[in-house]
Amino acid sequence: MTFSIAPHAGAVTQMVEDASRAALDWFRRPAGSVVVDNKLATGFDPVTEADRFVERQLRAALLDRFPGHAVLGEEDGESGSGRHRWVIDPIDGTRAFISGQPMWGTLLGLQIDDAPVAGWMHLPVLHETYVAVEATATLATPSGERQLATSDVDDLGEAILLCTHPTMFVTDD
């Protein structure tokens, strides 16, 4: 039997939004009142109690609905095994989160046989949810929902690009 995520997309969207909004309880708290740990021995890769809470909440909701699926979370690693694997980044943009900037959100992906088949991104401060399921991508905001599409621009000089840091495209080549 072939699994289709489409009939479950609305419920998964709600799970992502609920978990992501939970992080707002920690967002913009006074300095020092949110525990921030560094995951690296050298450098800085922050993780907060909000990251851990959101991942636990989303993991539990997913396993409740899809008990035979695996879940890979950025903070708590992988549980379960099988063809279907959910991948969680509980707070993508933790540096923005701990700095009080609104550009962070919760990411969730679904892989079947290691191939990506669906993805969600919820930005709770902006009240935006992006969903891509079965070749259809949408953006939902308080003012409505619209279908997304890729740009038809094929000249890099005409394209609009945004990245989190200018050196992310620098290589040793």
1 within some domain: no
pLDDT in tens, 50-106: 999 999 999 999 999 999 999 999 999 999 999 999 999 999 999 999 999 999 999
Angle at 119 between CA 115 and CA 15, to 5 degrees: 125
Helix (H, G, I), strand (E, B), or coil: what is residue 106? strand
Q: DSSP letter for 158, please.
A: G
What pLDDT was estimated at residue 31? Answer: 79
CA-nearest of 10, 1, 38 to 145 is 10
The total of structural domains in the chain comes to 1
108 within some domain: yes
pTM of the entire structure?
Answer: 0.89
Mean pLDDT of 127-155: 95
Q: Among the listed ranges 38-47, 60-69, 106-115, which one has the minimum average pLDDT value?
A: 38-47
Domain with residue 29: its CATH number is 3.30.540.10
Contact 143, 91 (CB under 8 A): no
State the residue range of the domain holding 63. 6-169
- Does the pLDDT of residue 7 top 80, yes or no? yes
What pLDDT was estimated at residue 17? Answer: 98
